[in-house]
Structure 1
Amino acid sequence: MVVLAASIISKSGKALVSRQFVDMSRIRIEGLLAAFPKLIGTGGKQHTYVETENVRYVYQPIEALYLLVVTNKQSNILEDLETLRMLSKLVPEYAYSLDEEGIGKAAFDLIFAFDEVISLGHKENVTVAQVKQYCEMESHEEKLHKLVIASKINETKDVMKRKASEIEKSKIEKNRGDKGGYMSSMGSGRIESSFSEMSISSSNSGGFGSGSGFGLTTDMDSYSNKPKGRAPTAASAPPKGTGMKLGKGGQKTHQFLESLKAEGEVIVEDVPPTLSKSKAATPPPTDPITLTVEEKLNVALKRDGGLSNFDVQGTLSLQILEEKDAFIQVQVESGGNPNVLFKTHPNINKELFSNENILGLKDPNRPFPSGQGDGVGLLKWRMQSMDESVVPLTINCWPSISGGDTYVSMEYEASPMFDLQNVVISVALPPLREAPNVTQIEGEWRYDSRNSILEWSIVLIDNSNRSGAMEFVVPAADPSSFFPISVRFTATKTFSDLKVVNVLPLKGGAPPKFTQRIQLYTENYQVV
């Protein structure tokens, strides 16, 4: 079977979407499509195909349009019909309406989808879900572009800090030389005050702080005199509604941080873990080769129980510092989860990966790219499910009104498959004059008065605390005002359970040293 072209045309003969799959002239394809409306009456009412001297038209009416596949006469009519059925399933997936306007707006998406179904005139063995997955894959170039922008932002911050420090020192020295001890002291105080104000405005302007989408933190915040919402020491009682309040998890938090320090991790203690992003900052590579297994999780849980959406997208990326280490192949193994669908980079030898789980370039004499910021993607995968048992963390929220107050009981339950880190459960609250009264909590809490959000934080969820509860009281409010509840966390175990087993040198010698990083993080995790 050879498919010459696939098209969606109106009954007047106007081609709305047209994709050519073999080497034919444009005039030839346009002539074949233009002839179809005149031939459609000759096929009979019992058939949806028409044959001419050279080609066969296989078509299907779609409301006021026709979905048309043009093949040679030697092709198998059953395969032609199967290809047509597959394309007909894809059209409603991308076009919001089956008329000329809807098809026209989705034309490019439909062309890309047709390309995934038909390759060089032959039908690929794919499903609708796989086609959608392939068309939605992330762009490595886009990620690289974002990395370059983030690098420029960091450089600008460094320059700003350096210049501000130089100005402060020069002004202090000048005041000391001109006015002596007392006036110097007063001048220094004014300079420090103005510099502190400048730090606050710098950290809040321009949109490049921790919420800019690049996973950055504002270094100038350390100079700011703006309150951080940090937990007070044990010697002082926290004022109501401010700072972090420690519950049963305080001792556990301290032990967890101490264990990370013992393993060589760098812990920045002046930033509460509850304020960090779900995706942890990646340290710069130290070994010649770094392989990163990363999964991002999108989940929508129903407030009354059940699952609305569960989607996992994963990538395996390779970062090589020097070109001399780039002539390699990567051997991997996965947990064998049948719901995980893998897709290799176009330059990767698919047959080698299918048979031996080895990722290598189609041309073994060609090295992998080296010296690139975030590395190159070798493998992507996706997992979708409606089975609630695969959800790593479920949240139950029970608001109840009694008198003039609303009592809110919350609990979490974590799956034994995952140990979760830096868990933050953010509960939307109605506008309040003061912080909510938290009567019970396992972990820590913080109230964001500006956005009226209560953040419940647990540094680590493992076998010792797979479930936990929190209760708080606020003035009487509509139960729906506490939703949606947003959750973020990270984990060092993934759904695919993909691991790098070995790095194989292609030019002999000892296997090169490599680092493997594995992380799961939440992109959008809500109870709605």
Structure 2
Amino acid sequence: MTRIRIEGLLAAFPKLVGTGKQHTYVETENVRYVYQPIEALYLLLVTNKQSNILEDLETLRLLSKLVPEYCYTLDEEGICKTAFELIFAFDEVVCLGHKENVTVAQVKQYCEMESHEEKLHKLVLQSKINETKDIMKRKASEIDKSKIDKNRGLGMQLGKSQKTNQFLESLKAEGELIVEDVQPRAGQSRVVAPAPTDPITLTAEEKLNVTLKRDGGINAHIQVQVETGGNPGILFKTHPNMNKELFANENILGLKDPNRPFPTGSAGDAAGVGLLKWRMQSADESMVPLTINCWPSVSANETYVSIEYEASAMFDLRNVVISVPLPALREAPNVNQIDGEWRYDSRNSVLEWSIVLIDNSNRSGSMEFVVLPADSSVFFPISVRFSATSLYSDLKVANIIPLKGGGAPPSSPRERI
């Protein structure tokens, strides 16, 4: 019998079994289905119509006794886990289409008999495992021995400290920032920043990701009233657990389930819990807080690079660092003029232009430096990082609304960008 024929007979069986019938078999034109329910499944035996129905029922009864002997659970998952064991057991009962004169105990005994080939395979596998363990032990002893040798050679390395200090001094001369590991002396205590004392600390934080072309926390049941600034280009999105309709209609941050406490972060977690995010996509260059213009020009055997920044009046910028990539240089570039401070990172070949504060007194500034002849594309892309105490979106926490009576707990809103 072909596989397609067997699959067709099995596919037709569910359509032939009717609900509420007490029969244990059903016949078609060519075959007889002898079946027995086992919880939510059926144990099915397919025979021809000329077979003895009494012998078929006896075979089915024996097979039904074998199923719980090998399956821990009588469901689809349990049957699948022990499918091969069931096949081997059924093969001892039915051989070439005929029932064997065996019992359940004999079937279990036959299936548990070991073969010489299986024993040999297990012995070879165990010998490989033992050999691998011996190799691991030898490697571990070699590692321990190398650690002992390194500890012995540590006294010889102490004499190299003077050379190490000279190397660090040379790095400092090249403009590298060297952070020394200073251990606290006896009697000194570390200064630890005090944890927030207010019951509620609200943090409004923004990260601006701008790409310009070269040419151009307490367990409280509360709600938070905010002001979004009214910029139609900024799209706000709340946390999935927040009530979106409440925020869209009344600018109130509140949970969908008012019986749950307002989400908070740990006292030492500076990031806190993100409740509201916003995004804005725009090609308008005037919306950028800080723009950079760079003009490299080659003259004779030198390249003059003029850079200027222009900051908008949105808010003041602090700790501004403008990083300009440079070609590989043996010496620092020659800076002719600069509004601020500069540092040459020789390891990464980057010139960092630093401005502590940009406010109404210095909304624009410039710098000029000279390097060896280089292609203009070397000086791009230019990256900028800064911080600010005001928010780009002009988001403000207007009020904290208690949900279960009592006055609003004290809070300390923080804003940064």
Provide TM-score, normalisation by structure 2: 0.54
Q: Which residue of 2 aligns with 1:494?
A: 391
Given candidates 210, 214, 219, the residue that maps to 1:303 is 214
Are 1:229 and 1:243, in contact at CA under 8 Å, matched by a contact in 2? Answer: yes
Given candidates 345, 351, 354, the residue that maps to 2:245 is 351
Given candidates 233, 236, 243, the residue that maps to 1:339 is 233
Aligned equivalents of 1:397, 1:444: Cα separation in 2: 17
1:206-249 CA-to-partner distances (Å, cap 9, x unmatched) read: xxxxxxxxxxxxxxxxxx9845987xxxxxxxx6x5379xxxxx
Are 2:234 and 2:393, in contact at CA under 8 Å, matched by a contact in 1? Answer: yes
| CA pair 370-401 structure 1, distance change in 2 beyond 3 A | closer
| CA pair 381-477 structure 1, distance change in 2 beyond 3 A | same
1:369 corresponds to 2:263? yes
Aligned equivalents of 1:283, 1:228: Cα separation in 2: 39
Equivalent residue runs for 1:162-241 within 5 Å: 190=158, 193=161, 226=168
Are 1:229 and 1:446, in contact at CA under 8 Å, matched by a contact in 2? Answer: no
Q: Which residue of 1 aligns with 2:198?
A: 287
Report the identity percentage.
Answer: 71
Aligned equivalents of 2:265, 2:377: Cα separation in 1: 51
Q: Which residue of 1 aligns with 2:13?
A: none
Shift of 1:371: 5.1
1:138-174 CA-to-partner distances (Å, cap 9, x unmatched) read: xxxxxxxxxxxxxxxxxxxxxxxxxxxxxxxxxxxxx
Give the 3-state SS of the residue equivalent to 1:423 in structure 2. Answer: strand
Are 1:444 and 1:456, in contact at CA under 8 Å, matched by a contact in 2? Answer: yes
1:360-388 CA-to-partner distances (Å, cap 9, x unmatched) read: 11222221234544432221211110111
Are 2:176 and 2:346, in contact at CA under 8 Å, matched by a contact in 1? Answer: no
Aligned equivalents of 1:473, 1:416: Cα separation in 2: 31
1:390 corresponds to 2:274? no
Given candidates 334, 337, 342, the residue that maps to 1:437 is 334
1:503 corresponds to 2:400? yes
| CA pair 345-396 structure 1, distance change in 2 beyond 3 A | same
| CA pair 349-487 structure 1, distance change in 2 beyond 3 A | same
Equivalent residue runs for 1:77-88 within 5 Å: none
Aligned equivalents of 1:304, 1:354: Cα separation in 2: 39
1:462 corresponds to 2:395? no
Q: How many residues align?
A: 248
Aligned equivalents of 1:389, 1:302: Cα separation in 2: 14
1:476 corresponds to 2:410? no
Q: Which residue of 1 aligns with 2:304?
A: 407
| CA pair 347-191 structure 1, distance change in 2 beyond 3 A | farther
Q: Which runs of 5+ in 2 are unaligned?
A: 1-154, 182-192
Q: Which runs of 5+ in 1 are unaligned?
A: 1-186, 201-223, 231-238, 245-267, 271-281, 306-318, 521-528
Q: Which residue of 2 aligns with 1:216?
A: none
Shift of 1:465: 0.6
Given candidates 442, 450, 459, the residue that maps to 2:347 is 450
Aligned equivalents of 2:235, 2:280: Cα separation in 1: 7
1:400-442 CA-to-partner distances (Å, cap 9, x unmatched) read: 1111000111100000112111111111111111000001011
The aligned amino acid for 2:229 is: G
RMSD after superposition? 3.3
Higher strand fraction: Structure 1 or Structure 2? 1
Aligned equivalents of 1:228, 1:424: Cα separation in 2: 25
Aligned equivalents of 1:407, 1:392: Cα separation in 2: 27
Shift of 1:345: 1.8
The aligned amino acid for 2:285 is: E
Provide TM-score, normalisation by structure 1: 0.43
Are 2:176 and 2:345, in contact at CA under 8 Å, matched by a contact in 1? Answer: no
Shift of 1:350: 2.1
Are 1:327 and 1:368, in contact at CA under 8 Å, matched by a contact in 2? Answer: yes
1:295-346 CA-to-partner distances (Å, cap 9, x unmatched) read: 11111112221xxxxxxxxxxxxx33xx2xx111111001100011111222
| CA pair 494-243 structure 1, distance change in 2 beyond 3 A | same
Q: Which residue of 2 aligns with 1:155?
A: none
Given candidates 153, 172, 175, the residue that maps to 1:242 is 175
Shift of 1:495: 2.4
